[in-house]
Amino acid sequence: MTRIAGLHTLPLRADLPRPWGPDVPYHHVIACTLVLDDGRTGTGFSWTPSIGAAAVAALLDHDVAAFVKGLPPHPEVVWDHLWRHLREAGGGGVTTMAMAAVDIALWDLRASAGGLGLADAIGRRRDTVPVYASGVNRHYPLHELVEQARRWIGYPAVKIKVGRDDDVERVAAVREVLGPGTLLMVDANQRWDLFRARAMIRELEPFGLTWVEEPLPADDLDGLRRLRASVDVPIAAGESLYTIHDFRRLLDAVDVVQPNVVRVGGITPLLRIAELARIQGVPTFPHLLPDLSAQLALALPLPCMVEDVEDASLAALGLLDGPPPVELGPGGARVGAHLGHGLRFASLRQIPRASHSRPPAVRVSLPLEGR
């Protein structure tokens, strides 16, 4: 039986052409190559827009690599074994973010071995999925926010950030630019308490909101339930949660769940979360990372949309080698004719593809001049 022979990591950093604020000027990606004893390789990755990348890389290099060596390349089997092994380091966060790199690589191997793209290996349910334009724009002055909204005309849906004193003026301006036919969502990123959330949602409701995202701290499930029961606008959350147990408790508190494929530990747990949500009739909208999330969305059990944050996909950041696996735009997201997930990181050419030893990680910065 084929076994896992080695794991290589390569930390990358890509500058954001549109910084997410003064504290988030770039994204970290820990690219991962998983090598089997027959020489085949799969590509995975972990990701964080701000902190924790060094800790994730260290966990992969010093604990995960040794543990997965010798295991069969079965995503679900490896995930369950690795989850039990890493629990001592924490039940989520750095641990699940490290696990994602291995799990994504194993799904890449599984799909490629079957001669399939990832969506078809999971079980494709649709050929395209709607894309909503999104931006991390809370720090934009009003005129920049309006200009950004104009760039998004033609998309079926748009999401902007809220959590300022002038939210009503900003949402009104964006609604005027988009017109009544575009779905409009707002994202508070956990900036309100229950009292403030109720008041702000009532003030913003006349602008026809499709949902309000993360209105309260992510772990305030009781507050989310009380909020949902007291307002008429749907509530979305989940990007800041890490385990299926978190999502099981979240499902009766929200209308849309938004797992991030890296934060929850990879494709295996995201599919488990989506099935759990399906049982309760709650749609799963994957959070960020559209290069991979769009492929998953094609196979999810309930209809959904894919978020495309302006200039922040792996392809837009210049991290990928070759054509991007997903085409994103106002007309929706479509996948190309590739095997596996089609994500090949530019600097992974430096890693010996059939080596069974684990070299030290190399830090690479990819400048994005002219972007």
pLDDT at residue 360 is higher than 70:
no
Q: What is the pLDDT of residues 17-41, one digit of tens each?
A: 999 998 999 999 999 999 999 999 9
Nearest-angstrom CA–CA distance, 126 and 172: 34
Q: Determine the pLDDT at residue 363.
A: 38
Q: Token pair of 159, please?
A: 């999401």
What number of other Cβ atoms are within 10 A of residue 128's Cβ?
15
Verify that 278 and 193 share a domain, yes or no: yes
Q: Determine the pLDDT at residue 366.
A: 38
Verify that 314 and 348 share a domain, yes or no: no
Q: What Rg do the C-alpha atoms of the chain give, in angstroms?
A: 20
Verify that 264 and 348 share a domain, yes or no: no
Bridge partner list, 2: none
Q: Determine the pLDDT at residue 229.
A: 96
**CATH code, 126:** 3.20.20.120
Which band of pLDDT confidence, cut at 50, 70 and 90, is reported for residue 346? confident
Which band of pLDDT confidence, cut at 50, 70 and 90, is reported for residue 348? low
CA angle 52, 54, 55 (to 5 degrees): 65
State how many domains the chain has.
Answer: 2
Verify that 166 and 253 share a domain, yes or no: yes
**Catalytic annotation present for 287:** yes
Verify that 215 and 306 share a domain, yes or no: yes
Verify that 162 and 150 share a domain, yes or no: yes
Q: Is pTM, for the whole model, over 0.85?
A: yes
What number of other Cβ atoms are within 10 A of residue 217's Cβ?
16
Q: Determine the pLDDT at residue 33.
A: 97
Verify that 200 and 181 share a domain, yes or no: yes
Secondary structure letter of residue 66 according to DSSP: H
Verify that 157 and 276 share a domain, yes or no: yes
pLDDT at residue 361 is higher than 50:
no
Verify that 171 and 285 share a domain, yes or no: yes
Verify that 230 and 347 share a domain, yes or no: no
Per-chain mean pLDDT for the chain? 92
Q: What is the pLDDT of residues 272-313, one digit of tens each?
A: 999 999 999 999 999 999 999 999 999 999 999 999 999 999
pLDDT at residue 369 is higher than 50:
no
| 278 is a domain residue | yes
Nearest-angstrom CA–CA distance, 335 and 332: 10
Verify that 94 and 192 share a domain, yes or no: no
| 371 is a domain residue | no
* Choice among 8, 28, 159, 287 that is catalytic: 287
Q: Are 5 and 35 in contact (CB under 8 A)?
A: yes
Q: Determine the pLDDT at residue 371.
A: 27
Q: Are 185 and 157 in contact (CB under 8 A)?
A: yes
Verify that 196 and 213 share a domain, yes or no: yes
Please provide the distance, in angstroms rounded to a whole number, between the alpha carbons at the two ends of the chain. 47
Q: What is the pLDDT of residues 97-115, one digit of tens each?
A: 999 999 999 999 999 999 9
**CATH code, 102:** 3.30.390.10
| 325 is a domain residue | yes
Calculate the alpha carbon distances from 97 to 19, 103, 152, 241 in Å: 23, 10, 31, 11
Nearest-angstrom CA–CA distance, 157 and 365: 33
* Choice among 8, 159, 161, 341 that is catalytic: 161
- Give the domain range for residue 216: 119-335
What is the pLDDT averaged over residues 333-339? 94
Reported as half-sphere exposure (CB side, CA atoms, 13 A), residue 239 has a value of: 19
